[in-house]
Amino acid sequence: MKSSVLCALGLLCAAGALAQSAPDMKTLNYDLQPRQIAEGTWVIEGAVADLLPANGCNIINTAFIATGDGVVVINTGASRLYGEQQRKAIAKVTAEPVRRILNLNLHPDYFFGNQAWSDVPTQALQGTINGMRAEGGAYADNLYRLCGDWMKGTESTPAREAIEPQTITLGKHQLVLRQLKGHTDDDLVVLDKTTGVLFAGGLVFADRVPTTPHADAATWQESLATLEQWRKAGEFTQLVPSHGPVPRGMEGIAQTQDWLQWVTTTLRQSAASGVDLSELMRQPVPERFAKWAAQPAEWQRTLVHWYPRYERAALDGPGK
């Protein structure tokens, strides 16, 4: 079970990934560039790509909010080095002390940088912490294999404090923490009521194929429908996905819904027709998905992870 999860996460060393040109390991620098998107709010955008040596496994968007009474950091990247460079990047923008770190889910690029924040409370939902503890060692093994020197000195460092859904007022900002599900069993989203920015975590992917190792498609769709309801109600005006271009975040809700609907329909129909996995892998995806980042790698990982259950369901027949 664990090996299939890691394969689906994209942490195994595929030959194509190893063929990518690696950076000069003597000068490892993520070149983190905070970009202000709202009052007191910055994002640091990761590569819109697969996990590769060339990008140091940095494919996540992290963020921070300078509230006027301290900084809240959202996600800490895939390595100790990222966390250290994140600290420096934040310090160049604001002299406010960092008050807390929020990890939005259990995947390694959301929390491996926690190691560099040992003096600050690192927080996540309890289910997320449980997942970090259970899978962190295996994540580390495979990230080291994939991204080499970028990972030097990195140890899995799960969030230390469980946090419940709540509203936090810090300085000028009112942050609403809500718990959804689907991408993982515990997906934390953060809504800044002051600026109208929603940090949607892995529930929303923009211009990139979604990852699915811990996903439940039906529950994920329910959460996406909830996000769409919030959008229509005007609860947020900007959406920061954890993966994909931040300016495309709002479109990412519909993109992720579309992808999940197509995937589940395709797998169900293919299994009912007796299409085997190798044949399905050779079939092209629709044109609207073909140019997304991490294609076809993430699609193939999803097939390996999900298709056997659709085949079993087709063999069992209705009602079984």
Domains belonging to the chain, first-starting first, are 2-260 (3.60.15.10)
Where do we find the tokens 């229509």? Answer: 232
Neighbouring CB atoms inside 10 A of 95's CB total 8
User: pLDDT truncated to tens, each residue of the chain (320 aa)?
Assistant: 343 344 434 443 343 444 344 555 568 999 999 999 999 999 999 999 999 999 999 999 999 999 999 999 999 999 999 999 999 999 999 999 999 999 999 999 999 999 999 999 999 999 999 999 999 999 999 999 999 999 999 999 999 999 999 999 999 999 999 999 999 999 999 999 999 999 999 999 999 999 999 999 999 999 999 999 999 999 999 999 999 999 999 999 999 999 999 999 999 999 999 999 999 999 999 999 999 999 999 999 999 999 999 999 999 876 55
Residue 21 has a pLDDT of 46
**pLDDT at res. 27:** 81
pLDDT of residue 160: 98
Strand segments, DSSP code E, in 79-217 are: 98-102, 122-124, 161-162, 166-170, 173-180, 187-192, 197-205
* Separation of alpha carbons 150 and 158, rounded Å: 19
Give rounded-to-5 percent helix, strand, coil for the chain: 45, 20, 35
Q: What is the CA radius of gyration of the chain?
A: 19
List residues bridging with 188 in a β-sheet.
Answer: 179
Rounded-to-integer distance, Cα 58 and Cα 252, Å = 20
173-180, strands of its sheet edge to edge = 166-170, 173-180, 187-192, 197-205, 238-243
- Please give the Cα distance from 93 to 89 (Å, whole number): 7
Dihedral of CA atoms 151, 157, 163, 169 in degrees, nearest 10, equals: -60
What tokens appear for 311 in the block?
A: 């085949």
Tokens of 78: 């895939």
pLDDT, residue 28, reads: 94
Cα–Cα distance, 64 to 73 (Å, whole number): 4
Q: Which of 313, 309, 310 is nearest to 265 (CA)?
A: 310
Retrieve residue 297's tokens. Answer: 């790698």
Whole-model pTM?
A: 0.91
Q: What pLDDT is attached to residue 16? A: 40
Containing H/E element for 238?
Answer: strand 238-243
The pLDDT of residue 317 is 76
